Amino acid sequence: MSEKQIRVLVAKPGLDGHDRGAKVIARALRDAGMEVIYSGLRQTPEQIVAAAVQEDVDVVAMSLLSGAHNHLFPKVVKLLAEEGSEDVLVLGGGVIPDADIPYLKENGIAEVFTPGTPTGKVIEYIKNNVRQA
């Protein structure tokens, strides 16, 4: 009866307005049985972390196609840690050059999903890597 549902914050950091991918991901996660909260556009890392903490999400899934990922993603990880939420799975996706991925991973982004990723792959990754209650 008390089956735990995965809660995800799909977030759009920075000034980037590309939201097609974020919306696709949000709907796909919903259809996979997850509870999805969407941050809306133009969120600062502080706003994203506040929402993640208050909603007690298991996953923060950030979509960014404007090239500001190296600046914004690690900030979110850092602020989450400051709140004591280091067990939250932080994912990134969008147009992110392969060359940047190692840096992002070093900075706490668990995985990065680039164009052409089937949403099923994202769902599987989340199910396998989300924190256990």
Beta bridge partners of 63: 93
- The answer to whether residue 39 forms part of the interface with ligand B12 (CB under 6 A) is no
Report the C-alpha gap between 97 and 124 in whole angstroms.
Answer: 23
- The answer to whether residue 108 forms part of the interface with ligand B12 (CB under 6 A) is no
- The answer to whether residue 21 forms part of the interface with ligand B12 (CB under 6 A) is yes
Q: Which of 93, 104, 109, 110 binds ligand B12 (CB under 6 A)?
A: 93
Which listed option, another protein, ligand B12, none, makes contact with residue 30 (CB within 5 to 8 Å by class)? another protein
CA angle 18, 15, 107 (to 5 degrees): 90
Count the neighbouring beta carbons within 10 Å of the beta carbon of residue 31.
11
Which residue is it, tokens 């004591």? 84
Which of 49/65 has CB closer to ligand B12? 65
Which residues bind to another protein, rule: CB under 8 A? Answer: 1-2, 4-5, 7, 14-20, 23-24, 26-44, 46-47, 50-51, 53-56, 66-68, 70-72, 83-85, 95, 97-98, 114-116, 118-120, 133
Report the C-alpha gap between 14 and 33 in whole angstroms.
Answer: 28
Q: Which of 44, 67, 70, 108 binds ligand B12 (CB under 6 A)?
A: 67
Which listed option, another protein, ligand B12, none, makes contact with residue 113 (CB within 5 to 8 Å by class)? ligand B12
45-65 b/e with 16+ CB inside 10 Å = b?
A: beebbebbbeeebbbbbbbbb
CA 5 to chain centre: 17
CB of 3 to ligand B12, least distance (A): 23
Report the C-alpha gap between 92 and 72 in whole angstroms.
Answer: 11
Residues binding ligand B12 (CB under 6 A): 16-22, 24-25, 61-63, 65-67, 91-95, 113-115, 117, 119, 122
